[in-house]
Amino acid sequence: MPLDHQGPLGRLRRGHEELVLRLLRTHGPLSRGELGRLSGLSRTTLYDIVAALADGGAVVGTTPVPAERRRGRPVETLTLHPDAGQAIGIDFARRAVHVAAVNVAHEVIGSSSQAHAADLGWEDRVDLAERLVAGLAGGTLRLGALSGIGVGVVGPVDDVPPDDTPLARPALADLPLLLRKRFGVPVLLDNNTRLAALAEATWGAAAGVQDVLYLRLSYGVGGGLVVGGALHRGAHGLSGEFGHITAEPEGRRCSCGKDGCLETVASIGAVLDAYGTAADLPAFLAALPHDPAAARVLDTVGTRIGTVLAAVCNAIGPDVTVLGGELAAAGPSLFHPVERALLAHLMPISRSRADLRAAALGEAGGALGAIALVLHESPLLARYPAPDSLE
């Protein structure tokens, strides 16, 4: 795929390409003449665009065999190639690589995961990702129509432009370039917790919801905000840091250096500490139904979580709040106190609209969110309205 889609002319061109793809998605097979009328593009422009899409494997031309002899050439119709990949998502988690892909109709073609040692190098991780991608859709996936790769990584990602700007962390500095060299398309990168938020808002517990607050309760406490259907990054890539909102002003010192952060109360480690026995999370969850002490711990923790969530909800007014991460498996013992405190501290006018849900996506969330990142945020795709807003 040519790299000339950067820059203003390239963006305009990609906008035209996306318009043609969208028309083929919504109308089905079309002749060149019909495409010209529907798109308003000139014959010359359209010829170029269709040629590029056909070269990339996104579009195929079919000429029907005439049932009877007619005058003139039969009219060629253009259709989308069913195996053309539109976007790939890769989640480089701590000890595993997860990949997923969608076709040009934005249907998930497949997803795939493989665990690896925590110290595996980036070259090897990218090799692994490439092999997993190659195996998707039984190896029939055509990459020529890819518009981009979304990538999730662990930890904060500074607010960098796509592609080749170095990241703050040296280990990650070469990753976008490495991927771009392998796949030849733009790379969008973000924190995988935030991508899980976007995934929940796209394919998961809050599918199709515009404004979503996602809180992940794991060994760390983090989250993400989806605003108007798109991932919110914030200045310097530091949004969604719900784990570092002060929950107990006189509380414990947090790893971030501040005192009393929500993470010092609501991380898995903090919950196990408060429970006091040498349990691990599975043992704690198993104890919940019959040990009132375990339920009391979650009651206190849930109250802190709900209070912090209420402050954020009053500020941003999400449609849906999603709780994910391993601790969310505690179920009602956690969700009830969270909801009680949330309602107590929400503006009364907002209380009837509060909508707290458990996350629906498992370990594929990061990779699915990375795909959503490409589909939602790529300027090429955002240029024209999505098909469902056009119907």
Q: Is 117 in the site for a copy of itself (CB under 8 A)?
A: no
Tell me the closest approach of the beta carbon of residue 230 to a copy of itself, in angstroms: 7
Cβ 149 vs Cβ 374: under 8 Å? yes
Mark 264-281 as b/e (b = at least 16 C-beta within 10 Å): bbbbbebbbebbeeebeb
The least distance separating a copy of itself from the CB of residue 197, rounded to whole angstroms, comes to: 12
CB 349 to a copy of itself: min, Å: 7
The residue within the footprint of a copy of itself, chosen from 28, 208, 331, 385 (CB under 8 A), is 385
Indicate the residue among 13 and 81 with the shorter CB distance to a copy of itself. 13
Buried b (16+ CB within 10 A) or exposed e, 182-204: ebebbbbbbbbbbbbbbbbbbbb
Among 33, 314, 332, 362, binds a copy of itself (CB under 8 A): 314
CB of 180 to a copy of itself, least distance (A): 22
* Residue from 186, 237, 324, 325 in contact with a copy of itself (CB under 8 A): 237
Q: Which of 71, 257, 290, 388 binds a copy of itself (CB under 8 A)?
A: 257
Residues 142-161 within binding reach of a copy of itself (CB under 8 A): 156
Among 33, 234, 289, 362, binds a copy of itself (CB under 8 A): 234
Buried b (16+ CB within 10 A) or exposed e, 103-114: bbebeebebbbe
CA-CA-CA-CA dihedral for 31, 37, 38, 44, to nearest 10:
80
Exactly one of 12, 96, 281, 287 binds a copy of itself (CB under 8 A); that residue is 12
> What is the distance between the terminal CA atoms of the chain, rounded to a whole angstrom?
31
Other beta carbons within 10 angstroms of residue 27's beta carbon come to: 11
Position among 199, 245, 288, 322 found at the interface with a copy of itself (CB under 8 A): 245
Enter the tokens of residue 228.
């108007």
- Of the candidates 351, 324, 334, 326, which has an alpha carbon nearest to the alpha carbon of residue 295? 334
Residue 106 binds to a copy of itself (criterion: CB under 8 A): no
Query: Under rule CB under 8 A, which residues in 324-383 are in contact with a copy of itself?
Result: 345-350, 353, 379, 383
Cα Dmax for the chain: 87
Positive or negative: CA dihedral 31, 32, 33, 38: positive
| Single-letter amino acid code for the residue at 298 | L
Site string for a copy of itself, 18-47 (x = CB under 8 A): ------------------x---xxxx-x--
Determine, following the binding rule CB under 8 A, whether residue 238 of this chain makes contact with a copy of itself: yes
Closest CA to 318 of 217, 200, 203, 235: 200
Contacts to a copy of itself by CB under 8 A: 8, 11-12, 15-16, 36, 40-43, 45, 156, 210-211, 225, 227-228, 230, 232-242, 244-246, 256-258, 307-308, 310-312, 314-319, 345-350, 353, 379, 383-385, 390-391
